[in-house]
């Protein structure tokens, strides 16, 4: 089995306007994921707004999460930063606190070259000693990992997995087959992009890195378990019940929608970090309507 597999749930990081993490609300979210027995927690991903938080607040969030999970499941934590030295320190913090792995994106204001990204990732892996997951997130970073760069990084000691984006569901199977053929055995291959992730798991991906699972873990767990058991029809059936939310994710961004879901489910009330604004009232009403239409086993 790969180092990381199954469902990795990515919750929001509730915080006030000054960027101070609401640890009570965060622990409530993490407890919900523990109750659902997700395979891992993805703390401080893009949905967890890692890039907006200070090093101190990231440490607080991770420490609270690790205390809440008490070793029941691995915690993957975002360690991305604009500077390599900052990313190294964040990864060292994560390792010292007990994270299972660090999720690292090619975040930059200035467009990066493949060689610059290779050196950035290699340095963080080498100097932190924390297992690193390559976070390919071109929608946010505008950097595209080529197959050649992924192959180079997969040969670096300490780089153990990749979180791929999904765009076209009909291309996932061939993309996964190409990576399986060229990447080392045991290198974990996973996908994000919730509306296409069921197809990725059916195709045999190791991991679904899920935004929705951070707030509605049960439905996502059912999709993953059905796919793992070879029941593609059941995985697709459950996935279809979530299509109203997938449409909202694509229209408004998954980040804004899950903040609204957290409020509607009375889990916590928090706004995304500025300059990101919460959904307007009309859009929130649409999220509430989509939530009402979900079957009972998909709305927990």
Task: Give per-residue pLDDT as tens, 222-231.
Answer: 999 999 999 9
Domain that holds residue 141: 6-229
Count up the domains in the chain and report the number: 1
Q: CA quadruple 34, 29, 187, 189: dihedral positive or negative?
A: positive
Average pLDDT over residues 97-120: 98
Is 238 domain-assigned? no
- Is the CB of residue 15 less than 8 Å from the CB of residue 219? no
CATH classification of the domain holding 69:
3.20.20.70
Average pLDDT, the chain: 96
For residue 170, the model assigns a pLDDT of: 85
**For the whole model, what pTM was predicted?**
0.96
E strand segments, 29-187: 40-43, 75-78, 101-105, 132-135, 159-164
Rounded distance, CA 123 to CA 153, Å? Answer: 11
Asked about 191 being catalytic, the answer comes back as no
Is 89 domain-assigned? yes
Closest CA to 49 of 258, 192, 297: 258
- Is the CB of residue 34 less than 8 Å from the CB of residue 267? no
pLDDT above 90 covers a percentage of the chain that reads 94
Is 111 domain-assigned? yes
Measured in whole angstroms, the distance separating CA 293 from the mean position of its chain's CA atoms is 25
Closest CA to 49 of 190, 214, 287: 214
Is 297 domain-assigned? no
What are the residues whose beta carbons fall under 8 Å from the beta carbon of 201, sequence distance 6 or more?
191, 208, 223, 224, 227, 228, 235
Is 244 domain-assigned? no
Asked about 135 being catalytic, the answer comes back as yes
Rounded distance, CA 150 to CA 153, Å? Answer: 5
Catalytic residue among 163, 191, 259, 284: 163
Total Cβ atoms within 10 A of residue 129: 13
Angle at the Cα of 143 (from 61 to 86), degrees rounded to 5?
A: 40
Average pLDDT over residues 180-202: 97
> How, if at all, do strands 132-135 and 159-164 pair?
parallel
Is 67 domain-assigned? yes
For residue 243, the model assigns a pLDDT of: 96
Inform me whether the pLDDT recorded for 114 exceeds 70. Answer: yes
Would you call 79 helix, strand, or coil by DSSP?
coil
Beta bridge partners of 164: 191
Which band of pLDDT confidence, cut at 50, 70 and 90, is reported for residue 1?
A: low
What are the residues whose beta carbons fall under 8 Å from the beta carbon of 8, sequence distance 6 or more?
38, 39, 40, 41, 42, 76, 190, 207, 208, 209, 210, 213
Is 282 domain-assigned? no
Is 249 domain-assigned? no
- Using one digit for the tens of pLDDT, what is the confidence trace for 154-165? 999 999 999 999
Which band of pLDDT confidence, cut at 50, 70 and 90, is reported for residue 146?
A: very high
Catalytic residue among 50, 135, 191, 209: 135
Which band of pLDDT confidence, cut at 50, 70 and 90, is reported for residue 300?
A: low
């Amino acid at each position: 089995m790969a180092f990381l597999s199954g469902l990795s749930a990515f919750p929001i990081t509730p915080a006030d306007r000054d960027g101070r993490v609401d640890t009570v609300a965060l622990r409530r979210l993490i407890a919900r994921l523990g109750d659902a027995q997700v395979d891992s927690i993805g703390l401080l991903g893009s949905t967890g707004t890692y890039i907006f938080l200070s090093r101190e607040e990231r440490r607080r969030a991770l420490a609270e999460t690790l205390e809440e999970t008490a070793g029941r499941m691995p915690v993957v934590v975002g360690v991305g930063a604009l500077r390599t030295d900052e990313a190294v320190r964040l990864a060292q913090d994560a390792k010292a606190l007990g994270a299972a792995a660090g999720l690292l994106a090619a975040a930059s204001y200035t467009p990066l070259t493949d060689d610059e990204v290779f050196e950035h990732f290699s340095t963080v892996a080498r100097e932190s000693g924390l297992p690193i997951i390559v976070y390919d997130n071109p929608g946010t970073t505008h950097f595209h990992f080529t197959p050649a760069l992924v192959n180079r990084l997969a040969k670096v000691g300490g780089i153990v997995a990749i979180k791929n984006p999904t765009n076209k569901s009909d291309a996932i199977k061939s993309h996964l087959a190409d990576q399986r053929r060229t990447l080392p055995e045991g290198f974990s291959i996973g996908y994000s992009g919730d509306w296409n992730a069921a197809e990725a798991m059916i195709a045999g991906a190791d991991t679904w890195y899920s935004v929705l699972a951070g707030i509605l873990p049960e439905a996502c767990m059912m999709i993953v378990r059905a796919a793992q058991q070879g029941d593609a029809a059941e995985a697709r059936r459950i996935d279809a019940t979530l299509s109203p939310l997938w449409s909202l994710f694509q229209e408004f961004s998954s980040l804004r929608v899950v903040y609204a879901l957290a409020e509607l489910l009375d889990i916590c009330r928090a706004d995304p970090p500025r300059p990101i604004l919460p959904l307007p009232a009309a859009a929130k009403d649409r999220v509430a309507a989509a939530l009402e239409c979900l079957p009972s086993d998909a709305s927990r």
